Amino acid sequence: MREVGHFIGGKHVAGTSGRTSDIFQPMTGEVIGKVALASRDELRKAVENAKAAQPAWAFTNPQRRARVMMKFLDLIAKENDALAELLAREHGKTIADAKGDIQRGVEVVEFCTGIPHLMKGDFSEGAGPGIDMYSIRQALGVVAGITPFNFPAMIPLWKLAPAIACGNAFILKPSERAPGVPMRLAELMMEAGLPAGILNVVNGDKESVDGILDDPDIKAVGFVGSSSIAEYVYSRATATGKRAQCFGGAKNHMIIMPDADLDQVADALIGAGYGSAGERCMAISVAVPVGKATADALMDRLVPRVESLKVGPSTDPSADFGPMVTKAHLDKVRSYVDLGVKEGAKLVVDGRDFKMQGYENGFYMGGCLFDDVTPDMRIYKEEIFGPVLSVVRAKDYEDALRLPSEHEYGNGVAIYTRDGDAARDFASRVNVGMVGINVPIPVPLAYYTFGGWKRSGFGDLNQHGADAIRFYTKTKTVTSRWPSGIKDGAEFSIPTMK
């Protein structure tokens, strides 16, 4: 059985805490390994390694740091198939979806190869009499990322690539449910030329998380997970003086206007709602058709599509989605479907009892589709994080706009329409952080930033794009004057540009 420890100081290190967690293969339900859960002492060793290595890395010129990123990209490309297979084996998503997971992370690494330009400051000659002013961006020091199970490649790359490119040392605490890919990424970083100690992977649970939040040498923390834990991480991190960007749950709506192409809408909802078994923070989990005629016509198209979804093992190239990550998570999602029935929603398609022939112990569930869901129901209010789509019928456009705007989550939203005025009005007024217009999963590209509003995000700066560079650096402003030999005498008032 495979044993996964930690990656500290440029090498694999066995766990010493005596605590471990099972690594499952969701396709079969088998335990395929054990991952060590770090103690605070083990975390501290990683921090000490990072702290010792970071100053030299920060003083390495940005072009050389960019070359490490370029080499890293080459190595990922060569190992893409193997990384995708490892990711699918531990997570359960299909191979095709796993490759998408890796690719969206790679795009942020590609963005970070421009770090010499991204870290440039400003310069003003003659800002005052004989005075020049300039600003420089400098690394924070040791920073950390706490990443979720559902994107074992993408989210770690979103965190570690900009942090390291900016000259920081990085402590990664990935999900203990899928530790394989983060460990392999650390190995590839070393092969790319990253100095030992700059990237450390510490596997663990709440003890490791609290250790990161309390450690005085860790200057910033990035987190992705549930909203309750995101708020906890943000509060505890900022209380100890750290920068924090923490992203939580979602309840992403798709508004369907009466003029929309409903065949296109149905296809978009199937992919966005059921892809990766719904285990995406950007999954569409609520469809909002405007008007009864639109809702009835949409349901006519949706029902047969949901009924025909192909659930299969991760290795099946024809599967639409695979199993969920653990038995506990499967049971949780099933319980939400049970709850929806009790709350009075109409369960039009029921996938709770799905069994995969030959994989009866795997963590599988078929697609579920609810109609007549109302905003007072828990299945509408809470994130389900599974292959469950709820249809909430809106009487008009204003009613539809109000639903995502008033929901406690504000991660992503989409509108499908052929009316440019409606789309423009919606994008301007909706109280949500990321908006798609005829785009079902509005994940921004790497050179824009990713982040939700309300209880979907805690902190002032988003992930990737320019915000990542701001988050992982501090700005120093220098005011410079070289004596000209003229003595002006002492000045006791504050300097001004007068």
Q: Which of 112, 166, 281, 368 is catalytic?
A: 281
Angle in degrees, CA 27, 81, 196, rounded to 5: 105
Q: CB of 141 within 8 A of CB of 475?
A: no
Residue 228: exposed, middle, or buried by beta-carbon count in 10 A (0-12, 13-18, 19+)? exposed
Neighbours of 370 (CB within 10 A): 25
Closest CA to 465 of 477, 449, 444, 479: 449
In the residue annotation, 281 being an active-site residue is answered as: yes
Cα separation, 147 vs 272, in Å, equals: 22
Residue 336: exposed, middle, or buried by beta-carbon count in 10 A (0-12, 13-18, 19+)? middle
Closest CA to 281 of 232, 239, 227: 227
Closest CA to 468 of 437, 444, 435, 441: 444
Cβ neighbours for 129, distance < 8 A, ≥ 6 positions apart: none
Question: Mind telling me the catalytic residues?
Answer: 281
